[in-house]
Structure 1
Amino acid sequence: MNKLIALLLLFYTAQSFSQTTQKTEDNTIYNTAGLNVKPEFPGGLDKLKATVNENYLKVYNSEIKGKVYAMFIIEKDGSLSDIKILRGVDSEKAKELIRILSELPKWSPGKQHEQTVRTLYSVVLKIGR
């Protein structure tokens, strides 16, 4: 009987101190250069640039022409976050470009080793006609 109690006590303590394994979600932000599958805008990069330019011109007409440098994170679900306009326009126009970029259709996200990952993406947009 004592052996049975000792055995049950051993199993009980082993179970209470055993480690539980939890899957932690990978929120690492990857660069496009090292990905197996790069993120892609529906219709391609030319479609992205045309869509942004068209929407921008609806607000500012052809008030400005030139290159605008943007950077953002493409999330695992294809949405954009942490959108920044690095240079090319003043802060008011940058806010409008951020709004336009945030309302774009979702991207096909990048993949690394068959896993969907968050990706840092930068693009040069040509604004104006």
Structure 2
Amino acid sequence: MPEFPGGMPALMEFIRKNLRHDKAEKNERVIIQIVVDKKGNATNPVVLRSTNPALDEEALRIVSLMPKWKPSRQAGNNRNVKFVFPVAFKPSVQNTN
């Protein structure tokens, strides 16, 4: 399996730090699929589960910011592998009404 530098906790932290939550009206998740290529680049992002076009666009923007991943290896060779992860959105200001 490919690995984000620092593992899944680092991936979730990267998303949290770079995400613009102002587009979310409530807690929502967008599911993204990428291909981590043989060189470790996150390519071919696809929204597998959409909640809102603006959130989809923001989730895809996050993918474009990602550093290189550790590519997957099989039989000593790097391989292209699909990887799926959630991007969680929370509103910037919680409505208390």
What TM-score range do you get, normalising by the shorter chain? 0.7 to 0.9
CA spacing shift, 1:89–1:54, aligned 2, 3 Å: farther
The one of the two structures with greater contact order (alpha-carbon pairs below 8 A, sep at least 6) is: 2
* Gap runs ≥5 in structure 1: 1-37
Cα distance in structure 1, aligned partners of 2:8 and 2:88: 12
Supply the distance in 2 between the matched residues of 1:47 and 1:55 (Cα, whole angstroms): 12
Aligned residues: 91
> Quick one: which amino acid aligns to residue 91 of structure 1?
P
Match of 1:83 among 45, 49, 56: 45
Given candidates 94, 103, 110, the residue that maps to 2:65 is: 103
Query: How far did 1:61 drift?
Result: 6.6
Q: Using the alignment, how far apart are the partners of 2:29 and 2:58 within structure 1?
A: 15
Matching residue of 1:54? 17
Distance 1:126 1:99 in 2: 14
- The alignment partner of 2:47 has SS state of strand
Aligned to 2:4: 41
Q: Equivalents in 2 of 1:49, 1:68: separation in Å?
A: 13
TM-score using structure 2 length: 0.79
Cα offset, 1:73, TM superposition: 0.3
Secondary structure in structure 1 of the residue aligned to 2:80:
strand
Residue identity in the other structure for 1:116:
N
Higher Cα radius of gyration: 1
Query: How much does 1:67 deviate?
Result: 2.5
Greater percentage in helix:
1
More strand by share: 2
- Residue 114 of structure 1 is matched in structure 2 by 76
**Shift in Å at residue 62 of structure 1?**
5.7
What's the % identity of the aligned pairs? 25
- The code of the aligned residue for 1:92 comes to A
Structure 1 runs (4+) deviating above 4 angstroms are none
